[in-house]
Amino acid sequence: MRTKRIKIFDTTLRDGEQCPGASMHLSEKMEVARQLARLKVDVIEAGFPVISDGDFSAVQTIAQEIKGPTIAGLARCVSRDIEAAGRAVSPAGSKGRIHVFLATSKIHREFKLGKAEDEIIRLAVKGVKQAKSFVDDVEFSPEDGSRTEPEFLVKVCQAVVDAGATTVNIPDTVGWAVPAEFGSLIGHLHAEVPEFRSGKAIISVHCHNDLGLAVANSLAAVEAGARQVECTVNGIGERAGNAALEEIVMALKTRSDAFGGFKTGIKTHEIVKSSRLVSRMSGLTVQRSKAIVGENAFAHSSGIHQDGILKKRETYEIVDPQEVGWGQTELPLTKHSGRAAVAARLRHLGFSMSEAEVTSIFSRFKEIGDKKKFVYDDDLAALVDGQRTDVIETWSLDYVHVTTGIHAIPTATVRLKRTHASQNQDLEILEDAGVGDGPVDAALKAIDRLTKTNGTLKDYLLRSVSQGKDAMGEVVVKVDFGKGEFITGRGASTDIIVASAKAYLNAVNRKLATSNQKTKIARKRKPKRH
């Protein structure tokens, strides 16, 4: 039975978040999960529950609060992994899925696992059966499937389906595949495993983009019999990333003639909103020329192209930009707009906020409104990004003043408030100055002196949030505090020096929160002396 429906399995919160510097805190993950539900993805892979308390909590919270999509947790074919995943997805009830994986390729069997084929099959079957004791919906992935011998892969697929797996995902883990070969492999599995043909189980694919072929490989797999595609918003993920959700969906929709009429359930007008949210939450900028969601995706500078577009859009646009969510921004707010109008616009943008959060955002909105004529939707979104975080704000910016110029030494005077974490009250206000290569560097050095941290700026991104010369600037920084782990910080302001200082302080607060959490866990695990 060959259905025309292609399931979209979104792994932005799991594989996408594994990209260095893209880690998200719980509130950020929840915003992304809510948007994925509005986008109407079929499955949200919410995380890898066993790897940390934070991941377990994120998967469990998403399973409790997000309605509509199936919620999946990843697990190795290891008992404690599967138990953790089972507990994490249990609040989703019948919408819970455990996704177990085990490497199957020859190179992984010999050099990583040191196990023979029979042992691999035994462990895979054992893992699926254990997962089946927690949920009815079990997915199995033979890691490095694209480099696994086809006949052995058939044996693995048949064994896990017989054990109860309802989905078998074939990963191109290292981006090795090319479309013709990968399509042939999927077609071979579809032909050799009866359950794939009957619809009792379906083939999924998970392609990485190391050779820039993730989308092409995924589409080749769909043509060959795959009925689920694993992908991420903006194609984010480890190394060169994953197959991009927006490209998969729009390729199937725009060229349904070439792909046999296959359809997804995605609400395409939510695509651009999803792209921007994931970019803000992950700190990973979308390439301007990125298909579908890049700023230049529907820009036409050639006079010939512009003339054609004016006469008939389809002459140079195969996708209607409004179909994926591009279009005119809603009428902007002004400093005279009331709290109710701001709250309504926040709801329209998809933010679920408490009364206290709306009040705080409204206060900051008034500050921005005094500095610029219009406050656009992206301005509001930037304010929300700066407001909503799981990180307790140990340090906050109270004042910054810089002097700079061609013949001057860039100097920054910075005043910070230090807040008591548990009592939410100011303990002290500290002030210091720093010099640097420029005003931003000087401000960051002053912050290091005040907070007694020593961060190395590894990446700095400044972008205009909205239109106009009075636009808010959003700064995203990636900072190494000495352990080789990049911590992302974000800040927004109409003043780029202030935005930079806020972004760096955000990273400092995240670093302090992470250190405190690790200390608490270490104390909890430390054996008591008798």
Q: What is the pLDDT of residues 332-354, one digit of tens each?
A: 788 888 888 888 888 877 787 88
* CA atoms of 178 and 157, how far apart (whole Å): 21
* CA atoms of 21 and 279, how far apart (whole Å): 12
For the segment 475-504, what is each residue's pLDDT rounded down to a tens digit? 989 999 987 778 888 888 889 999 999 999
Residue 37: inside a domain? yes
- State the total domains in the chain: 4
Q: Give one word for 65, left, alpha or beta, with left for phi > 0 and alpha for psi -120 to 50.
A: alpha
pLDDT at 97 over 80: yes
CB-based burial, 230-260: b 16+ in 10 Å, e otherwise: bbbbbbbbbeebbbbbbbbbbbbbeeeeebe
Which strands form 411-420's sheet, in the order they lie side by side?
A: 395-403, 411-420, 425-435
Alpha-carbon distances of 98 from 64, 116, 160, 390, rounded to whole Å: 15, 25, 13, 27
Of the two residues 395 and 426, the one the predictor is more confident about is 395
Confidence of residue 1 (pLDDT cuts 50, 70, 90): very low
Helix, strand, or coil here: 143?
Answer: strand
Confidence of residue 44 (pLDDT cuts 50, 70, 90): very high
Percent of the chain at pLDDT exceeding 90? 64
- Tell me what pLDDT residue 523 has: 52
CA 200-172-168 angle, to 5 degrees, is 15
Domain span at 186: 7-282
Same domain assignment for residues 431 and 472: yes
Residue 530: inside a domain? no
Same domain assignment for residues 263 and 357: no
Q: What is the 3 state secondary structure string of 225-288?
A: CCCEEEEEHHHCCCCCCECEHHHHHHHHHHCCCCCCCCECCCCHHHHHHHHHHHHHHHCCCCCC
Same domain assignment for residues 361 and 434: no
Same domain assignment for residues 247 and 318: no
- Tell me what pLDDT residue 328 has: 53
- Tell me what pLDDT residue 423 has: 54
Residue 1: inside a domain? no
CB-based burial, 6-37: b 16+ in 10 Å, e otherwise: bbbbbbbbbbbbebebbbbbeebbbbbbbbbb
For the segment 261-300, what is each residue's pLDDT rounded down to a tens digit? 999 999 999 999 999 999 988 888 899 899 999 988 887 5
Q: Which of 313, 335, 337 is nearest to 326 (CA)?
A: 313
Helix, strand, or coil here: 114?
Answer: coil
- Tell me what pLDDT residue 529 has: 46
Measured in whole angstroms, the distance separating CA 17 from the mean position of its chain's CA atoms is: 5
For the segment 290-300, what is each residue's pLDDT rounded down to a tens digit? 999 998 888 75
Same domain assignment for residues 127 and 150: yes
Q: Based on C-alpha coordinates, what's the Rg of the chain?
A: 25
- Tell me what pLDDT residue 412 has: 97
Confidence of residue 419 (pLDDT cuts 50, 70, 90): confident
Confidence of residue 520 (pLDDT cuts 50, 70, 90): low
Measured in whole angstroms, the distance separating CA 104 from the mean position of its chain's CA atoms is: 27
Across the range 142-147, mean pLDDT stands at: 98
pLDDT at 132 over 80: yes
Q: Residues 281, 384: contact at Cβ < 8 Å?
A: no
For the segment 317-334, what is each residue's pLDDT rounded down to a tens digit? 889 889 999 875 556 788
Q: What is the residue-averaged pLDDT of the chain?
A: 89
Same domain assignment for residues 378 and 307: no
* CATH number for 426: 3.30.160.270
Confidence of residue 530 (pLDDT cuts 50, 70, 90): very low
Same domain assignment for residues 105 and 145: yes
Residue 485: inside a domain? yes
- Tell me what pLDDT residue 422 has: 54
Same domain assignment for residues 169 and 51: yes
Same domain assignment for residues 227 and 144: yes
Residue 290: inside a domain? no
Same domain assignment for residues 243 and 315: no
Percent of the chain at pLDDT exceeding 70? 89
Confidence of residue 382 (pLDDT cuts 50, 70, 90): confident
Confidence of residue 303 (pLDDT cuts 50, 70, 90): low
Same domain assignment for residues 177 and 92: yes
Across the range 205-212, mean pLDDT stands at: 98
Measured in whole angstroms, the distance separating CA 53 from the mean position of its chain's CA atoms is: 19
Same domain assignment for residues 356 and 504: no
Measured in whole angstroms, the distance separating CA 2 from the mean position of its chain's CA atoms is: 31
Structure tokens at 352: 């679920």
CA 99-286-261 angle, to 5 degrees, is 60
pLDDT at 387 over 90: no
Looking at 169-178, 440-449, 456-465, which range is the least confident one?
456-465
- Tell me what pLDDT residue 331 has: 64
Q: Which of 411, 418, 404, 410 is nearest to 505 (CA)?
A: 418
